[in-house]
Amino acid sequence: MSGFVKVVEVGPRDGLQNEPQALPVAARVELVEQLADTGLRHIEAGAFVSPRWVPQMADSGEVLRRLGRRPGVRFSALVPNQQGLEAALAAGCEEVAVFAAASEAFSQRNINCSIADSLRRFEPVLALARERGVRVRGYVSCVLDCPYGGPVAPQRAGEVAQRLYELGCYEISLGDTLGKGTPDATARLVEHCAERLPLAALAGHFHDTFGMAVANVHAALQAGVRTFDSSLAGLGGCPYSPGASGNVATEDVLHLLHGMGYATGVDLPAVARLGTAISQRLGRPNASRAGRALAAAGGERHP
């Protein structure tokens, strides 16, 4: 296998949003900058959501402001509505992400509205973003399973993905938020979505609750997906997905991709060192198997 696979680092947002301990702005900025130094070219650095709902993401404006611009690197942030977009624009964000769900129950719990209302709410958000030259990515959460409603049909996820694409999102990240999906279901989902929108516009976003995340990345890769979201040290989860563990670890995804001959432009041992450091700082186990193995072997000598 050869070719390029894009890795979107979501640890500073999807990871940190679920940690019991909120990191101060300076530490969040430092982490994002260090991640950019490893060769990662797209890093989700914050969320302009209600600090009452997700206190860990408070002060994302300050994080994005301090990061500023860096040639060749994109720092993006989640926005749930117009208010979030305006705050993101004020902070100089070049890219934002809107997030809908394929499950009604999750949509209500996560953003306090129905799927249809969320999609309607995104229309003016995308229009304003377009006017300001800001790129918009779209997430669909709970594409395979929902913590409140059970299994989700690929058609349902496909409809929401297609709508976000039609609204102007340049890429749609398919999120197995609960982390219960299996490779066959992942392949079916990708095949279904690819009938509705270009394969090149799809990204995979897997959580590792049932230990399937790397297998699901592999299944999506075989089905043609070339963009994956991941989180250093497998940080995170979702505050509105009880029991869900962290995202697939960036280190594990890089190990898989590099082993299969794909280029990513990312320095795996460097990410592994950051994964070890952030796990220590947060006082949590490092959920990345590749990260732990590299640390045990003395990372630098074993790329």
Contact 140, 172 (CB under 8 A): yes
Among 144, 153, 134, CA closest to 182: 144
Note if 238 is an active site residue.
yes
CA–CA distance, 57 with 12 (Å, rounded to integer): 9
Per-residue contact string for residues 174-193; x = within reach of ligand HMG by CB under 6 A: -x-x----------------
Any contact of residue 54 with ligand HMG (CB under 6 A)?
yes
Any contact of residue 114 with ligand HMG (CB under 6 A)?
no
- Least Å distance, CB 29 to ligand HMG, is 20
CA–CA distance, 37 with 24 (Å, rounded to integer): 20
Among 177, 248, 225, 179, CA closest to 4: 225
Partner whose footprint covers residue 186, from ligand HMG, Mg ion, none (CB < 5 to 8 Å by kind): none
Residues 11-70 that bind Mg ion (CB under 5 A): 14
Residue selected from 8, 11, 12, 14 as contacting ligand HMG according to rule CB under 6 A: 14
CB proximity list for 125: less than 8 A, separation 6 or greater: 79, 81, 82, 84, 85, 96, 98, 136
Any contact of residue 238 with ligand HMG (CB under 6 A)?
yes
Own/partner pairs, 294-302, CB within 8 angstroms, 24+ separation: 294/251, 294/268, 294/269, 299/269, 299/272, 299/273, 300/269, 302/269
- Least Å distance, CB 238 to Mg ion, is 6
Any contact of residue 208 with Mg ion (CB under 5 A)?
no
Any contact of residue 288 with ligand HMG (CB under 6 A)?
no
User: Which residue's Cβ lies closest to Mg ion?
Assistant: 14
Residue ranges in contact with ligand HMG by CB under 6 A: 14, 17, 47-50, 53-54, 78, 80-81, 83-84, 99, 110-112, 139, 141, 175, 177, 205, 238-240
Positions marked active-site: 238
